[in-house]
Structure 1
Amino acid sequence: MRHPVVMGNWKLNGSKEMVSNLLKGLDAELKGLEGVDVAVAPPAMYLDLAEQLIGKAESKIILGAQNVDVNASGAFTGDISPEMLKDFGASHIIIGHSERRDYHNESDEFVAKKFAFLKEHGLTPVLCIGESEAQNEAGETVAVCARQIDAVINTQGVEALEGAIIAYEPIWAIGTGKAATADDAQRIHAAIRAHIAEKSEEVAKKVVIQYGGSVKPENAAAYFAQPDIDGALVGGAALDAASFAAIAKAAAEAKK
């Protein structure tokens, strides 16, 4: 049975005070919670502080990061290598987020290179896929998601998806307040899993597929009740300890 993962993407938000208060609040809210993995991805600047706080509290929170480069070292100003992320205790690394694809012109092929590099270094890729509003309205959602996943499968084999996480995030629902209905999200998740199953039913059965896009405490339970939705990649609600913890608790409850 797949184990749900709820991950908070803090994006470009944070301060020393905020990181400290948020992680301490999360530890208190999540005390004793079982049945769900909870991860956070702060800005790289705060990985050190987050690692210290998580370690001191002997927390079960998994530390992640928002990006990685495709080089191990060298003259690549401003970039961060997998080994640097590991050095600060980060294990779950977000790649392919629509904001990276859009603002930094990251192609499917470049994201697939990041995926391979993370796997090579023993880190867990959190591969974001999803369609724009125009693509959604044109009925291209499944084709877009398949293309983004195939960039990995066609270069690394379907087995590369083992141990990785896929996060389906419809771009039109990220930070907009709009959200796919639970039924619509389930339909796309099922189609994604079916696409992977064409190459390997075993891999498809085991791969964790999160939903992301305006996930809140109010709608989380409806998503997690769906058979193919294995947790969430959470944006705005992850910046509030009580809200994020409520989402994690909903995932644990739904998958009992």
Structure 2
Amino acid sequence: MPESIGAIKQRLTELSREEWFEERKKLALDPRKGVGQLIGRTDSRFEREERARASFLERMAFETAYMKAGYEQIAGVDEVGRGPLAGPVVAAAVILPEGFYHGGLTDSKQMSKAARAAAYDAIMAQAKVAIGIVDAGAIDRINIYQASKQAMEQAVRQLEPDALLVDAMTLDLPLPQEGLIKGDARSVSIAAASVVAKETRDRLMEEYAREFPGYGFERHAGYGTAEHLLALDSLGVTPIHRKTFKPVTDRL
């Protein structure tokens, strides 16, 4: 009796690309329409994975150039939280291990919440990671640009890398570095830092949502949504609001 379509489908999910080449030859002899459909879907899956891997390798070009120059501890650096009306700015520095691969890792803003959480878990399990946080009070004192820079430098100092790839900024640190515009979409290391920074900040804002209920921080993470502005009007300004940001200033 031939293997059921369901059993074949389950088995195909567990095959590597190399194993698929051999299995495909056998399945091609099966005349059932359902098997033909499984072959097509599996071909498409491996093609998507191959494109993802090729994109990943392409976005390792900056790291590869540093490694060829003799650097080993290359940190990607990014921050999240310049635009919100409340909460801190959070930066991450990430040194990925040699051979690291996580398909779909890119600019955190382009990833779904589930994909971002999966990438975060993979990065935290395998990479060297450090976080820098500058709160709303400091943002009001030194401005958001300087606060973002300070958070990045905090993170980098904890890791002690020998070279940096930084998203759209030059840091005041005596290290070889390259500031990349849209770096989170061009460098895997910066993308990893963007994921860690965003996941960290989102979780902080969820904690603030429990401390300051009614603002919806767990949904909008402090950004100036209509829900947030209505809460400001009805509940007032909290200690984590940025007093120098105009929508908040107008309500003081």
State TM-score, norm by structure 2: 0.23
Structure label with greater radius of gyration? 2
Compare the two structures and name the one with the higher helix fraction: 2
State TM-score, norm by structure 1: 0.23
